Amino acid sequence: MSTNQIPKVEEVGLTGGGLEPRRPSSSLTLTAALLGFALICLDASVVNVALPAIGSTFGAGMSGLQWVVDAYTLSFAALMLSTGAFSDRAGASRAFALGTAVFTLASAACGLAPGLAPLITARVVQGVAAAVVLPASLALVRQAYPDPARRARAVAAWAAGGSLAVALGPVAGGALTTVWDWRGVFFVNLPVGAVILALLVRAPRSRPRPAPLDVPGQLTAVVALTALTFAAIEGGTAGGAALLVALVAGAVFLRIEARRTHPVVPLGLFRDRTVATAVAAGAAVSVAFYSMVFVFSLFFQQVQRHSALTAGLMFLPMTGLIAVTNVVAGKLASRYGPRLPMLVGQPVAVLGLLLLLYVDAGTPPLLVAALLIPLALGCALTVPPLTAAMMDAVPADRAGLAAGVLNAARQVSGGLGIAVFGALVADGFEAGMRLSLGISAVLLTLTSVLSFRLAGRSARRA
């Protein structure tokens, strides 16, 4: 899923600055960038299956487990709004090396964490580092392949690395937790990080170039998103106070963005109906997909009492088909426009969610795994076309900003979905799971209607 949040490199507009006269092998640069992107994608999915083991070690309840996931997701999403500009200012190679080093050290801190609070803190640092790695890795690919045809193939390989990591994440998490310990899902990042840093020794050096940073906007966005997530997870009096903070910070954020020359989120983008619909559909897909992976990771282990390895294997059919479906969706969008795959994908995902309503503790795990496939197929059919539609709707010089907004919106929505649905299943797992499935189905139904209206309008214009 995550790989399709990134449009073509030409659209993003990341140049990485100029190169030094001597250029080492571009294949080494691509390998480093691919491994870096795969590493941060893996960490978004590998931890879910390990959550029950983490909870058992630290005596953590549902809210603690939610924070283990959302600490990474939200810091990753919120900082992604600005890290593209940071990569340009620092130089892509320097930013990528810094992000990889910090991510690797934070992974070690996660694996060595003596308690839940240190683990969550280290997860925040991981998310911040991942937000730096993502745009810098794409910029490195851009600068290593100046020829458009070779660059397109390199970007496809880079994206495939992320798809493979997402697909293998639950299985790897289950295997590592079963054979080793939950700490293994973090320690496995260390050798990969070391290999990346070794490859970077021969990577092209990027010259920094000016890029505006909206520090006040970024800070208020972080406060608003963190407070909103806290309110959803914790509830009660503290949650009410956090919700008030989120509302105030959100209002301040909107005021700042309306007045900035170079805002982190250009509010004018949302006046375009295509942009607004693409962001809404992307958010709904993320709520449905990422939240259900979280919920069913717990369902397989806490309700059906299967091992972590079994739970991970149950996700392999749905995640394994995503990369193939993404390619099909991209070809359909190129040939027919975004209308067809979006109008097929979202209803298929809704059907999958409705079928999952009949799952209970006695449902055979292989049947649950099969019922998860329509959800994955529908989401994978939807994301590439909505990304293409959004990129087509904005001027070329704003494509990078638009991509950052779309990516951040999807990550934030997934994190908030985990926060809300985790709270629902904490009060009664099967009832909360069904309510979560119903909410996701309603959201995707609404965005299906929006997509239909938008597609028809686009067709009439054509």
What pLDDT digit, counting tens, does each position of 178-193 carry?
888 899 999 999 999 9
**What is the assigned CATH class of domain 1-200?**
mainly alpha
Q: What's the mean pLDDT when you consider all of the chain?
A: 82
Other C-beta atoms lying within 10 Å of the C-beta of residue 260: 16
Mean pLDDT over 62-80 rounds to: 86
- For the stretch 365-409, pLDDT in tens is 999 999 999 999 998 888 888 877 877 777 755 655 676 788 788
- 25 band by pLDDT with thresholds 50, 70 and 90: low
Provide the CA 369 distance to its chain's centre, in angstroms: 22
Q: Angle between the 365-393 and 339-356 helix axes, to the nearest 10 degrees?
A: 150
The larger pLDDT score, comparing residue 6 to residue 174, is at 174
Please report the pLDDT score of residue 54 as a whole number.
92
Six-digit token string for 127: 């998310």
- For the stretch 257-271, pLDDT in tens is 888 877 777 787 788
- 229 band by pLDDT with thresholds 50, 70 and 90: confident
Six-digit token string for 236: 């009660």
Please report the pLDDT score of residue 211 as a whole number.
60
Which of 308, 403, 312 minimizes the C-alpha distance to 45? 312
Q: 271-462 maps to which CATH number?
A: 1.20.1250.20
pLDDT surpasses 80 at 7:
no
pLDDT surpasses 50 at 133:
yes
- 16 band by pLDDT with thresholds 50, 70 and 90: very low
Please report the pLDDT score of residue 10 as a whole number.
36
Mean pLDDT over 86-95 rounds to: 78
Please report the pLDDT score of residue 415 as a whole number.
85
Please report the pLDDT score of residue 337 as a whole number.
77
Q: Report the share of the chain in percent with pLDDT over 70.
A: 87
Please report the pLDDT score of residue 156 as a whole number.
66
pLDDT surpasses 70 at 120:
yes
Mean pLDDT over 273-278 rounds to: 86
Q: What are phi and psi of 225, to 5 degrees?
A: -70, -40
pLDDT surpasses 50 at 413:
yes
- For the stretch 43-55, pLDDT in tens is 878 888 889 999 9
